[in-house]
Every structure is written in C-alpha cells, then in structure tokens.
Amino acid sequence: MLLSPAVMLAVIGLILGLIAGFVMHRADFCIAGMFRDLFLFKSAATLRALVLYLAVAMVLFEGARLLGLLPLYPFPLLSPASLAGTLGGVLFGIGMVLAGGCVVGTLYRLGAGNRPSLVAFIGLIIGSTLYAEFHPFWKSILTATTLFSGSITIPQYLSLSPTPLVAVAVALLGALVVSWFRHGQLSRRLYAKGAMQLWQAALVLAGVSLASYLLIGMPLGITTAYAKIGAMGEQLVFPNHVAGLGFFASQPLSYRNPLTGTMLTGGPGPDLDGIALIQFPLIAGIILGGTVSALSLGEFTLGHPAPWRQYLSAAVGGILMGLASRMAPACNIWHFLGGLPILAFSSIFFLAGILPGAWLGACILTRWVVR
Amino acid sequence: MTSAAVDTIEYDIRGQICPSTLLIALREINSHAPALRNGAVALLFLTTNRASTHTIPESAHNMGFYAEVTQHDGYYAIKVSGND
C-alpha cells in the first residue's frame, strides 16, 4: 500500500470536503437559508433542493446497503432520539439564521473571504467548547428523555427491513420532486458567474455523502472537531481544567474503518485521534473548496466590512450553533445529509426542532440585526 | 449610502451576512417604488452575496421592475429600475 491508512483517510476527507465546499459555493447551497426563507420570505424555492437530496441519498444509501457495501448500518456516532435533542434543534435553528449560515455554510463562505463567517466560525468553536462545562447535566437530560427504547432508526424500532420504509419515503419525496420539475420549479435564472443550480449541487452532494459513507464509514460530520479545536486551545491556558472535564475525556467514536480495516477511536478531547483524522481534513477541504471557487471566479475578497450588528449576530449565532450541535447532539449536516436518508429518529426530532428555531431566528434577525 | 448619479441611488452592502442584502433591497425598492415606476430614480446594489444576484432580480421582476446584474472586481452590481 503506497499510503498509510491514516494518510489515505485524511486525503479522502480533504478531497470530499473540497468537492463539497466548491459545489456549495457555486450554488450557494445554504441549508440555513433554506429553512430561514421558509419563514422570512414564505418561500420554499431553495428547500426543494434539500428534498431532492433526501430522495436521491435515500436511494443511494439503501442501494449500497442492499449490495452489502455498508457494513456499518446505522453508522457510528448516531444517537437515539431524545426529546431534549429537539431543544438542541431549536437552538441550532436560531443560531444558524443569526450566523448567516450553518456549520458548513460558515466554512465555504469563510473560505471565500466573508468576514462575518470568520466570526461565526470562532463562535462555533467557543460554543462547542462551552458545552463541556455542563455536559454531565445535559447528558442526564438526554438519557432521561430518550424515546423508542433507544432504537436509532424507524426500521430498527419496527423490526423491519429498511427497504419498504425507504421506498415509501422515496415515493413521497420523489412525487414532490417530479411535480416541481414538471412546473419548472427546480431551476432558477442565475446571473452569478459560474453559478450552479441548487438541484445540481444536491446531486453532487448526494454522491459525496455516499462516498463518505462507503470510504470513511459514515456520512459527512464535522462538529465534534469544533469542540476538539476549542479543547486544544483551552488546554494551552487551563490544562488542569480540560483534563478534569468528562466531556473531553469521552471517546464516543469507536469503529473499524471499512476501507482500511483500521480501528478508529476518538472524541472531543484535545488529542489527535480518530475524530481529528476524519473531521479536520473535511473542514479544511470545505474551506479550501470555497476559496478555490471564489478565487477562480475573481470573487475572493476580505475587504468588505459588515455593520457591527451583523458581527455580533454572527458571534451569537455561532456560539448557539456550537452549543446546540453538542446538545442535539450533532448538526444539520449530520442529521439532514446522513441521518434522515436512513430514517434516523434523532434526525427527525432535530428537524422538528430546527423549524421553530429558524422561525425564531428570522424574527430576531429582522427585529434586531438587519436595520 | 451615497448618490453615485442624480437619478441612481447606490447601496454598498458588500460583505454583509445573508439575507440582509435581499432585505435591504426589498425595503429600498418598496420605499422608492413610485419614483422607480416613473423612471425618476434607479437603485444600484453592490453585493458580494452570490445568492442575491438572482433573488434581488427575481423579487424586482415580481414587483414589476427590471433588474440588470453586472460583475465587477470581486463583487456584483444589481441595478433595479422601472424600465429596461
């Protein structure tokens, strides 16, 4: 083997991140905006791309599972549903609207030189790190409000094969997509240089998610790494405090990578472990993807300051998202691009939380931020 | 906000978080609607937000106005007027 398993996984993560960041920047595939605009402008135009993504990802994931290509099903780190997780979804919804982008939208915009996204990125790290201070309390709430006997997915709970349930979901979502396609509602007239349609980006991202699931062993996920970055920084200043926090000592990741056969373990603590190996290259790739796309279009710029209210909003939004992505637990990318396609309970509960959260965020945005 | 020309009001909203660009554009189009309709004024929005290069023209068209998008060095200029 020319590359060590660790280098191979890092390179795969970087490439997948680069593709995702590039495509998201070209299409402005902003999941925060999809939910926000539902309430702010009463428009579901952009949300249609997410529905298309779900339908395609469901087919791809289930097809791969039936072909025996997904030995880890459900994938590692996916939690059972919890009522408290829905509250995490609400906070996440508020945060992503205030930050002007979700955990991934923040990255590709940061890569393109957007200053408020840098502030949101720092807020995400701070929020993820702050969560460690009340992790034992929140974990007990999550456990106490866990539903469906701890089952991860609907098919698991019903003791059914995923295929018929996925088929029903794909039929329902597919009918919507076909209707939108017939009415010409999937495409818009685009003016930006090098712009991609959202539906095109949705198809590419479904391919990226499948590749991640096949090669890394799970779909795209990045938010544990935000806590890890924070822990690394905090350790420099308060090493004893970091060492005493249970959250940073936890090792939720423990699985055998299907591509290399390597056993990977890790958690949010400051060590360079399996989480760092999987998620750091992905984060770097998404930022770089945004940078490459913006530079190639002549759009990369750091020179335009925003009003102070928007920096404050980005900071508060980033901190809220960071906290919420650990409280839910996990972020919108994990749940929407990975969990919903396999009918995970926690992802459905997260979705139930993010809708009122996005509405609240839109209310706060129009009342206090955009003047 | 500066007046770039007698009949063109320029809004430099580059670098702002999404969706402030569209919200500001909608507010200004609404407040200048009569002057836009009779051709007395045009609005020029400078933005670095790629999504607003189609959301602002879409909204302007839905309100009965015209919009023209041009790319400049690192940003876009969207001109909204009452006629083409």
> Over chain B (84 residues), what is each successive 10-residue block's mean pLDDT?
66 91 95 94 96 95 95 94 82
The whole-angstrom separation of Cα A297 and Cα A222 is 27
Question: Nearest 5°: CA angle at B9, between B4 and B10?
Answer: 70
- Could you report the per-residue pLDDT of A201-238, keeping only the tens digit for each? 999 999 999 999 999 999 999 999 999 999 999 999 99
Determine the Cα angle at B49 with ends B43 and B52, to 5°: 55
A301 shares contact with chain B (CB less than 8 Å): yes
User: What sign does the dihedral A127-A132-A138-A142 (CA atoms) show?
Assistant: positive
Using CA coordinates, name the residue in chain A closest to B54: A190
Number of domains in chain A: 1
Using CB atoms, pick whichever of B19, B58, B75 lies closest to residue A33: B19
Determine whether the interchain pair A301/B20 forms a contact, defined as Cβ–Cβ distance below 8 Å.
no
How many H helices and E strands in chain A? 17, 2
pLDDT along chain A (371 residues), means of 10: 87 98 97 96 96 98 98 95 95 97 96 96 98 97 93 96 98 98 96 97 98 98 97 98 98 96 97 97 98 96 90 98 96 97 97 98 94 75
The beta-carbon neighbor of B18 closest among A100, A298, A300 is A100
> Among partner residues B22, B48, B54, which is closest to A191 by beta-carbon distance?
B54
Chain A's closest residue to B74, CA to CA, is A299
With CA atoms as reference, the chain B residue closest to A303 would be B15
Q: How far apart are CA A359 and CA B34, in angstroms?
A: 32
CA distance A185 to chain B (A): 13
Q: Cβ(A109)–Cβ(A301) under 8 Å? A: no
Provide the chain A residues 220-239 that lie in CB contact (below 8 A) with chain B: none
Residue A3 is predicted with a pLDDT of 80
pTM of the predicted structure, to 2 decimals: 0.95
- Burial (CB count within 10 angstroms: exposed 0-12, middle 13-18, buried 19+), residue A172: exposed
Q: Closest approach of chain B CAs to the CA of A298, in angstroms? A: 6
| Residue A293 with chain B: CB contacts under 8 Å | none
Q: What residue ranges define each of the domains in chain B, with the CATH number in brackets?
A: 2-81 (3.30.110.40)
**What pLDDT, on a 0 to 100 scale, did the predictor assign at position B3?**
46
